[in-house]
Structure 1
Amino acid sequence: MADEMASSQSQYPTIDPGEFDLVVYGTGLPESLLAAAAAVAGKTVLHLDSNAIYGSLFSSVPISSLPSVFEDSPLFSEIETFGSAPEASRGFLLDIHGPRVLFCGDPMVDLLIKSGASHHVEFKSVDGSLIFWDGRLCPVPDSRQGIFRDRSLGLAEKSQMMKFLKLVRDHIGLDGKEGGDGSGSIAEEDLEIPFVDFLEKQRLPPKIKSIILYAITFADYDQDGGESCKKLMKTKEGIESIALYSSSIGRFPNAMGAFIYPMYGQGELPQAFCRCAAVKGALYVLRMPVVSLLMDEQNKLCKGVRLTSGQEILSSQLVMNPSFVVQNSESHMQSAREGLNSSNLLGKVARGICITNCSVQPELSNILLVFPPRSLHSEQLASVRALQLSSNVSVCPQGYFVVYLSTLCDDAILGKECLHAAINALFSSSSSETSTSSNNGDPEPKPTLLWSCVYIQEISQASCDAALCSCPTPDGNLDYRDILETTKKLYHSMYPDEEFFPESAASVNAEDDGALSD
């Protein structure tokens, strides 16, 4: 038995040196950001992952790898699949934490450019956005041109939306920042009231109000829901979200709208930051599980990790993947880890991945779709968001489309019911269901659902306790703003005197690259 163990351990490389300023376990986006920021600051960094690929909970994987992803993390449950994977299944790269996009004016895009990570990833534009209204998909008019082109809006609705957007534009100013130049600005007291009440004061019709709330500012919950609304958006937050949306349109010349998506999937983002860290001297070792934490007997703080190879690595600071569970550890070590996790769960998000044979909108390839609260059924308390992607972002073979869906939920059953309602609204599961209403009311063929996977993911917040930090899981948002802000706070809790990615010569002129592929 001892010989077998020694033989197994000898298969792993010996890591030299055996002590680092920072040890990071897991290559998810927050972990990769922390590793890169520390490496840029001159820290010695060891970055480990038990998997053979980068990304952890933020990775993009083949269909065949999904079962092992779900089995390896206690964060996933209620997994169900439908249909058979296409014969060309090796050509798919599926985001575990979809749907996810980046605003062109997103702080994450700014960081990609500032850090130089934009050199390691390419993006494609999202072609357009649709909202589910009155049983059909309608375009989201997010610009002056879009409003005038939209045949689903009447003249009065177009005029009201133009008037509202002008009010917002005057408030935020030409530079796209809240506050503007003061001319025609929104009253201070109005900024503190619920955004839905402010929209009512503007006498906006229900459809325009829904577009602004759920397809432009991306409110999560039913803003008209009273006590059932878990998060009520204030006007100030709504205006800031519109400012971000507006500043994103036209930032990059080859981006059609406000959103971009990384070629080869969202898993490319953590890889890009890992490459930045490696350039600055961070050491990377994949396929290297951590089996336990090492504890300093005097101060009862974590001082390192024991690897599956048997090697012990010392470090004054540890960052762990939120899926990590201590194995075979002494009771005080287990208590340290449980202390991080005891109150970290924030809720659940129901996620779905679908593969279909044609676009939900024939003339568009990459589309963002929003199902506002209660648009699918009366108990739908949160928006369902969906993202359709085509082969031109290299996540599926030609002739196929991948559609991601998600909705926040407290109850797994209700969350999955909402996803299934959205899936049924978009796709047919057999040739007998052949049509749905288009945005002009005419029947159009529904895409056929070839394969789907629906599952529940627990949302866990970040935590930091002396020498041991745990990163956040993917959240229920459409973008990475909250993840980035949380990661910055973690970094400053570890290194209060260090700047998070200071300006460097490497990032000069990075924006000239355009951040998008042709």
Structure 2
Amino acid sequence: WQWLLVTMLSVCVHFPGLTESVIAAACSRVGQSVLHLDRRNYYAGNWASFTFNGLLSWIEEYKQKVQITESEQVWRSLIDEGEDVVPLSSVDSSISNLEVFCYARLALILLTTNTNEEHEVSEPEEEQHTSDISEPSQSQEEKDSQPISSPADPPVEVEKKITYQKLVKEGRRFNIDLVSKLMYSRGALVDLLIKSNVSRYAEFKNIGHILTCRNGKVEQVPCSRADVFASKQLTVVEKRMLMKFLTFCLDFEQHPEEYQDYTEKPFREFLKNKKLTENLQDFVLHSIAMVTQQTLTEEGLKATQHFLRCLGRYGNTPFLFPLYGLGEIPQCFCRMCAVFGGIYCLRHSVQCLVVDKASNKVKAVIDTRGQKISCSHFVVEDSYIRDEQRQSTAYRQISRAVLITDRSVLPSESDQQISLVTIPPLESSAPAVRMVELCSSSMTCMPGTYLVHLTCSSSGTAQEDLAPVVSELFHVSTIPGEEPSEVLWVMYFNMRDTSALDSSSYSLPSNVHVCTGPDGSLGSDCSIKLAESVFHHILPDEEFCPPAPNPEDIIYDGDGPQAEGPGFDESVNTEAEEEGAAHEKNPSTEPAEMDSVADTTPSSEE
């Protein structure tokens, strides 16, 4: 810290969400000195991934959230003549209406012996009878053919259902994201991961199923040519109509006469004009374009075109998901920043900004330990900005639900598929709901369970918006003696969406760059474009995230032998961890690089 007191920092970044992490990595990569602070004890902020036990701790912290009162005398003594102060908020109000419900039984272990003597029964008597009835009866010959056991034989444990104790015990197998997103294979995030070589720090899995829910039934959406012709939900006429329409969407700009009369009309009306059936309209609107009923035609066509162009790059669907959860992506950029000299401090925050009155620019920050640190730019997440520093509070809310279930919403031959499900509005005034179901091979949940994320724009609290969808798709039992619940655990919460705000929404010095939190879209293009915009505002003449050199390409100047080869690769990882870019999970010593498979179609395991 003494070094920091005498060194001019190029960029001070506060709260390492995805956008801030990308900015920090980009600045560090081109030689800028970066200090990255976070008041939390984990990386990625609202983009973080938690183990189940870690999430329970996060919930407790939320319930006990108390605003910290800063001592003004601490930083007033550090302010010189000609300087002013801009205080920051000490409490995060981006999460609200958090509710948690547990439907997993506390104990469901039935201990029996081969003599059928019951030693301990933790299930209600009614459920035991149901279990006995459901077992196939044995003939006398089958009974006689079984070996006779001694009463002294040890009891046999039969686990009939996943319990809450099991979830806690296996809690480290979970990686639960606060925000639910997927990666378009030709989206801004994937392009940046390939360009910057940051993809070497992570592994990815292709989304196997794209589904929709119609009339209470979950169906697979045919989106590629092979899926369309193999679909059993569509008639032969519908298959031809859909293929003709999708072919048109691929280069719709070349045929303006087809849609120019509908540019100011909803996309749904254009679909009707194209004589698509109600079935096909729902497929295109909700599961391919993934737009709302109010979306205009040209925007809907662009969304459909983008979906189609992403098909086939890495698999049969347009989407990828990072193993171990979405929180891996900000950590990957944090690791790159640390490799190039960035400094990271958790459980450390900034109280206020020191502004030069003459230039109206931030010249330093004062942290919670009363240290004054000089900097030329300050990057901060919106939740740290006080209301008096906002020109506008026109932010939206996102409703989120996180479920742990014991069955897939659409069981199939393989239970290791990641599925994207679109649930059209249950009522005309309700929003469409996006559901991502993760399996255990995504390294986000324990075997035998599924991690389900529900997301929609808020019209009320998260529980009001999403509980009806949970009830429609899953059996939720709260009555003793009923069939056990398929939902083991569920959490509802609302998250603030400030993506509609820009720099004019804040009354702050020009070298303070406010980044918005996660938005409600499926991809991360908004965050990546904002990161690039802020970077060019800070360093207009520098390249945004140039490729990091491969370890084997690095040659050191000096008297000693040249350092190159696989051994240096290991030192990069070690250096990144030592500099503070924590990466608690180590899935592989040689993570797959996305650019190495850019023109191939890997298997579902890859």
Instruction: Mark the CA change 1:39 to 1:136 in structure 2 (over 3 Å): closer, same or farther.
Output: same
**1:246 matches 2:308:** yes
SS where residue 501 of structure 1 aligns?
Answer: coil
CA apart distance, 1:488:
2.3
**1:359 matches 2:404:** no
SS where residue 316 of structure 1 aligns?
Answer: strand
Q: Deviations over 1:110-165 (max 9, x none)?
A: 10000111011111111101111122111111011111222122222222111211
CA apart distance, 1:500:
2.3
Which segment is superposed worse, 132-141 or 446-455?
446-455
Query: Which residue pairs with 2:286 in the alignment?
Result: 214
Q: Alignment partner for residue 74 of structure 1, among 85, 93, 97?
A: 93
**1:237 matches 2:299:** yes
Q: Deviations over 1:23-64 (max 9, x none)?
A: 001110000011111122322211112223211111111222
Instruction: Mark the CA change 1:76 to 1:342 in structure 2 (over 3 Å): closer, same or farther.
Output: farther
1:124-143 correspondence runs (5 A): 124-143=205-224
CA distance in 1, matches of 2:3, 2:38: 15
TM-score normalised by L of structure 2: 0.70
Instruction: Mark the CA change 1:338 to 1:432 in structure 2 (over 3 Å): closer, same or farther.
Output: closer
Instruction: Mark the CA change 1:460 to 1:264 in structure 2 (over 3 Å): closer, same or farther.
Output: same
The number of aligned residues is: 460
Query: Which residue pairs with 2:179 in the alignment?
Result: 97
Query: Which residue pairs with 2:119 in the alignment?
Result: none
TM-score normalised by L of structure 1: 0.81
Alpha-carbon contact 1:61-1:94 (below 8 Å) kept? yes
Which segment is superposed worse, 421-430 or 150-159?
150-159
Instruction: Mark the CA change 1:210 to 1:183 in structure 2 (over 3 Å): closer, same or farther.
Output: closer
Query: Which residue pairs with 1:51 in the alignment?
Result: 40
Q: Deviations over 1:364-402 (max 9, x none)?
A: 5311111112xx23431x210011101111111111111
CA distance in 2, matches of 1:246, 1:431: 43
Q: Give the AA of the match of 1:341.
A: R
Query: Which residue pairs with 1:35 in the alignment?
Result: 24
Q: Give the AA of the match of 2:525.
A: R
CA distance in 2, matches of 1:95, 1:193: 37
Alpha-carbon contact 2:322-2:328 (below 8 Å) kept? yes
CA distance in 1, matches of 2:360, 2:274: 59
SS where residue 382 of structure 2 aligns?
Answer: coil
Q: Deviations over 1:264-286 (max 9, x none)?
A: 11000101111122222222222
Instruction: Mark the CA change 1:77 to 1:183 in structure 2 (over 3 Å): closer, same or farther.
Output: closer
SS where residue 129 of structure 1 aligns?
Answer: strand
Matched residues, percent identical?
29
Q: Alignment partner for residue 57 of structure 2, among 55, 65, 89?
A: 65
**1:122 matches 2:203:** yes
Query: Which residue pairs with 1:408 in the alignment?
Result: 457
Q: Deviations over 1:55-100 (max 9, x none)?
A: 11111112223315644620111111111652323322111112x1
CA apart distance, 1:16:
6.0
1:258-297 correspondence runs (5 A): 258-297=318-357
Q: Give the AA of the match of 2:219.
A: C
Alpha-carbon contact 1:366-1:390 (below 8 Å) kept? yes
Alpha-carbon contact 2:201-2:332 (below 8 Å) kept? yes
1:443-458 correspondence runs (5 A): 448-458=486-496
SS where residue 323 of structure 1 aligns?
Answer: helix
Tell me the C-alpha RMSD between the 2 structures. Answer: 2.9
CA distance in 1, matches of 2:391, 2:259: 43
CA apart distance, 1:17:
5.0
CA distance in 2, matches of 1:198, 1:358: 38
Alpha-carbon contact 1:289-1:307 (below 8 Å) kept? yes
Question: Based on CA coordinates, which of the two structures has the bigger radius of gyration?
Answer: 2
Instruction: Mark the CA change 1:14 to 1:50 in structure 2 (over 3 Å): closer, same or farther.
Output: farther
Alpha-carbon contact 2:194-2:595 (below 8 Å) kept? no
Alpha-carbon contact 1:359-1:447 (below 8 Å) kept? no
Instruction: Mark the CA change 1:17 to 1:65 in structure 2 (over 3 Å): closer, same or farther.
Output: farther
Instruction: Mark the CA change 1:200 to 1:69 in structure 2 (over 3 Å): closer, same or farther.
Output: farther
Instruction: Mark the CA change 1:68 to 1:43 in structure 2 (over 3 Å): closer, same or farther.
Output: farther
CA distance in 2, matches of 1:251, 1:136: 30
**1:473 matches 2:473:** no
Query: Which residue pairs with 1:7 in the alignment?
Result: none
Instruction: Mark the CA change 1:386 to 1:498 in structure 2 (over 3 Å): closer, same or farther.
Output: same
